[in-house]
Amino acid sequence: MPSPDEGTDSDLRNPFASSDPVTEPSRFYGRRSDIQRVFARIGSTRPQSISIISEKAMGKTSLINTLAHPDTKEKLLSEPDCYLFGHIRLRERGNWEPESFFRALTDALRETHPDLPSASKYDEFRALIQHLDSENLSLVAFFDDFEVITQSPVFPLTFFSFLRSMANTYNVGYVTSSSESLQRLCVSKDVEESPFFNIFTNIFLKPLDENAVRQWVIEGSSPSGVSLSSEADWVYAQVGGFPELVRTLSALIWERKYDQGKLSSDDLAEIETEFQKRDLLEVIWDGLKQREQSLCAHLLTSDELDRPQMHFARELTRRGYLRQDDEGYALFGSAFGRFVAEKTGVEIKSDNNKKRRWWRLGR
């Protein structure tokens, strides 16, 4: 697909073409309960801290962007003017150290409150927090990809102890995102065992539910003049609710539909083949342990799980790679099922018509 810089008409119209995280709440779909849970913690008597944890392609950066947006604060906090939000995208730059961390956070706060002093040292930052506290203002700091900090050897235990002290003493809360629990992403044992991590409530992101995917695909495409309402169910059957997978597949569908109008089953099959070439499923597969990969292949042909497999099945369900219903476990999408079959050489039973073999849908 050509890039928007090349100026093609379809790229300018395709609402799913950009792979950049969502920056405007109006373009963010789903996660309503997660957003409400975060703001219930933020809006308590003293702001509480939240750690958002998700697998790859789950949209955690888009969620953080939405949570930190001024429009979200205005909508979900009863007294929004009493809160200062600061947002740092930690992976956008390297060579962080405590001084640059504090400076970046205060610079973020100064975007909406330019009268605040800059701070790059511990004492300067403490004085800033004390000033906010005297004005009855609460600070909520959003840190995307916080493992950039916990895995850096230049951030000592004293840094995390300082952050914990600020949250325990003043009206300060932190909202972080990471690919795993923060304590598993620490550079040293003493940081890992720091009581700093005890102040966080963990929220584990799962794939979007079917209604959220349908809403995104339909409402996201309709203003472009090429509605994907007829394909929304097929998108969910193929890739479940992993946001990056949904976006990529929807972009391919939109391109084909823009070019030729109504799509046939053969068109959808060709689109799925093109989607498989994007290597997004390969990234997910490579992130699974060997025993987890083996379980995925096993589920294509068998209903029976032994006790060790049940343990892995429950864990993969928690992380969003499997779905569970009254009839057992199934892979999260039919495209992934076909990917696993091709990757492992497993042949999916053609005579298995049980509901849990729902990857047969969309063929």
- The string of pLDDT tens digits covering residues 284-331 is 999 999 999 999 999 999 878 999 899 999 999 988 999 988 888 999
Assess whether pLDDT exceeds 70 at residue 357.
Answer: no
- Percent of the chain at pLDDT above 70? 93
Q: How confident is the model at residue 349 (pLDDT cuts 50, 70, 90)?
A: low
Q: Is the pLDDT of residue 247 over 90?
A: yes
Please tell me the predicted confidence (pLDDT) of residue 258.
95
- Using alpha carbons only, what angle is made at residue 170 by residues 167 and 175, rounded to the nearest 5 degrees? 35
Q: Are residues 189 and 177 in the same domain?
A: yes
pLDDT interval class at 189 (50, 70, 90)? confident
Of 289, 336, 321, 324, which is closest to residue 207 (Cα–Cα)? 321
**pLDDT (average), residues 128-132:** 95
Task: Show which of 204, 222, 254 is a domain's final residue.
Answer: 204
Average pLDDT over residues 233-238: 97
Q: What is the pLDDT of residue 12?
A: 54
Answer yes or no: are the C-beta atoms of 285 and 338 closer than 8 Å.
Answer: no
What pTM does this model have?
A: 0.86
How far CA 5 is from CA of 8, 17, 251, in Å, comes to: 8, 12, 17
Model confidence pLDDT, tens digit, residues 10-53: 445 899 998 899 999 999 999 999 999 999 999 998 999 999 99
How many domains, the chain? Answer: 3
Average pLDDT in the 94-102 region? 93
Last residue of a domain, one of 154, 173, 204: 204
Residues 188 and 215 in one domain: no
266 & 127 share domain: no
pLDDT beyond 80 at 6? no
Does 293 lie in the same domain as 228?
A: no
Range of the domain at 317: 282-360
Cα separation values, 310 from 257, 299, 351, Å:
42, 11, 24
Where among 278, 305, 335 does a domain terminate? 278
Mean pLDDT for the stretch of residues 188-215: 92
Statement to judge: residues 65 and 101 lie in one domain: yes
Intra-chain end-to-end CA distance of the chain, in Å: 25
The answer for residues whose C-beta is within 8 angstroms of residue 58's C-beta and 6 or more apart is 205, 206, 207, 242, 243, 244, 320
In degrees to the nearest 10, what's the CA dihedral of 191, 194, 198, 203?
A: 0
State whether 260 and 330 are in the same domain: no
